[in-house]
Amino acid sequence: MFRTVISCAVILSTIFFCVWEKNKANTIMNKNCIEIYLYEDYVMPENCVWYKDTDNYDNSYRAAERSIFDTIINKHLQGKEFNLNNKFDKTLIIKNEEIINFKNQYLLINLKKYHQLFQWESPINLKQFVITVNKKPVLNGYFHKTIMSYIVHDEVLLYDTTGLDTKHKTKSGFYKNYLKPEHCDLYLFNFRNGDMKNINLKKDYPELYNAFKNTNRLVE
């Protein structure tokens, strides 16, 4: 009888400890909530207009329809710094729990259900994003396909989907190879004049750095 009581006490203590640890981890995650939003409307950078509305418009340029024209330097661009604290509506596309970690300039994201956003002809390419910590905007910029070349003067999230090459049996009985998405890597860089530079997360965006560190998602 005594052994049974001791065994039950040990089991209950173990369960209580596991639940307590899980609740503690959830509390820490909630207090360091990192989310990525997509702006519903384009936030026009200062001193810029749509390239297609200028006399210099040439539709032979790549992404000409989505390009802007800087009236100060008289040059068309695909992206430029814009106001971080704007009031434009935005849509949550990546939740806190879906961000696995930050390591060597890239965010490892569990994006199985979002992978369609990051395909070759993705409508998300060159769209503006904002990363928030506890709903406060801390970093914004542009989504950018890794193998494409655009003129962007801002922070960029280069995206690349990683998957498994597998086979799918069609109705006709033949097997067809396709990529089953496993996760998405988002590489964070500063892009200026065609040059990509690493971002010092601790120095440039300390709130974001601390949120990753506090939740054990910072791999240094």
pLDDT score recorded for residue 47 = 95
Residue 142 to residue 38: CA distance in whole angstroms: 9
Task: Quote the CA–CA distance of 11 and 5 in Å, as a whole number.
Answer: 10
Strands (E) located in 104-205 = 106-109, 128-133, 136-145, 152-169, 175-192, 195-198
- What is the per-residue pLDDT for 183? 64
Which segments in the chain show pLDDT lower than 70?
A: 1-27, 29, 62, 110-123, 146-149, 160-183, 193-194
Q: What is the pTM of this model?
A: 0.75
pLDDT at 130: 95
Q: Which token pair is 203?
A: 């120095």
pLDDT at 198: 83
What are the backbone dihedrals phi and psi of residue 146, each rounded to the nearest 5 degrees, phi first?
-60, -40
Give the pLDDT score at 70: 94
